[in-house]
Structure 1
């Protein structure tokens, strides 16, 4: 199935869904030589394997690299791996449980609800500026600044710190390493961003130790159960994971609405947001390591393998979403998409992402009812985190 699944092809990135349909029809697990991964395209399997403890985001809690049949990471990339490997997303076992328990306190329903006025105010202001300008790039003017500003507020990054303007570029550089077979240049940028971001957070943590505030960094310091590296990695992960879904669902979602000539009902906006999250999934694929042999559709996938759980395919699987799986239904009631994952790595920030998306779509519908596409957008080359270079609009 290598000819069908081609994550480096611009045509595939622009519309991977026909290829997903072919993968689902051909079986439950497919070996893909170029990425050395087992592709899993069905909803039922993706959902089950996200919860299966025979798989993990990491393997070093159980095996050495040699025991697992993998080469150790290049020493030149150590700053990136130190940052990434101490983050919640890539931790397993006791460390994951401990840190998730501590960080989850920042994402309780009450905490997120308390953020709602700030999120709505920021969304209204950004959309208002876009309308006043007569349009512009929806990505850089609205979709990116909103979640970055919210996370910066949560972390307590002072508005006067010049590094606040570097958060998005740092995040983009680091997230480049999550693409398939990243280039040397991508790795170099990720390492540089990891060093700079870590240094800034280390300095900010020192400030907060001397002068605590009401922010998340101060709260993490007060817990005293996290190492400084775990605090730094947690903050970086909250920025990286905390804005990608919002950015790409905003932009990809409006692209879908423009193409199909429809608009959500403002009274049913939360339902519409769930459908946009399902219909064109911002995170197309989630990788996991096989820690113990598993069997899928008569195929044994051995320990040491990597599986690619195809979220975009799972969210369009007719076996779960019926004959309208490939149809955008902004009033779809039964919508258990896997966009935010499942199991122990279910996205902690999902409630915040939903709040941000509802706010930004609501403001755009209210302030820019005539919003229209100004130019055909170009997809970024990345496949795992899939989105546009820009989305030029007019009001």
Structure 2
């Protein structure tokens, strides 16, 4: 999720590749409430794989739009990541996540006569948090990038897996975007429009994840998307509006040998500013020096943040009744140089996606101060790489 997703969010999809292949071929799906032995990020990434023939992220590049909204098949993996907080006119609150992943299974396309032949596989996650009913729904799908079953195109922008789809406007500007996704009585239809310019994360869009050369991604975000549409839950339809966040990343990288996962925050504050920050966690529980983030001002200017500039303290923990994993579940976050101080709490604790890759990603709310002014906010937090048998402390 640096993406998420995500963070955001960032390399857990690589860890699902073997599971991904098996389930793509069988056409199976995981549904809400289904117990499974999902892959833990650090365990999945312990397998070594030769990625030398794929493109890698070694230096900054010039981005080109709308082309870069589309796929980058020379890289091992990429994702299109959307999260948001929505409310009805009566203030019923919903959170949502939709992430579509592309994974290359071979560096070169092999010419074959079959229309089913492809080296690209797609995986998608859809989750909805219904705060009033204290319900969390999560689903996943897998399919191959052939025969129109799944894919991505730059212009006009479209990324889809079967009937889960994100479609952009024609021309250079992809907005407004339209999201449509539905499964088992849970559905979301939204229109998203950008209220802020595109943000290049890291160094001009190059986000370095560890010390190893090439362990990086190309990463950009739209940090405030005005959102309106409809949520459907068990036969009931609710008009909703709110804000969403879009993350885009592509890479061939994996976690470094001493890294285990990450804690990723994407927050939209009531003073029209946004904050993205992620801790890359080492296996000893400390924060990696390549942790970082970005603060976006009310007028769209960005400020890069390093590990030393952001203070994060865990205030609560929650143990999943589904997996038994114990996750952080409340935080104090401060950026002293900005005079920003926040208390962050989940809208509900149970927002674990117990799918082929198991992680916690959920809607959060925050209160605090910015300078001398009181502020509130909403956002999403992703917690990946937990479940290794230790009670991992959140690095400070």
Report the TM-score when normalising by structure 2. 0.27
**Which has the larger share of helix?**
1
Higher relative contact order (CA 8 A, sep 6+): 1
Report the TM-score when normalising by structure 1. 0.27
Computing the radius of gyration from Cα coordinates, the structure with the larger value is 1
**Which has the larger share of strand?**
2
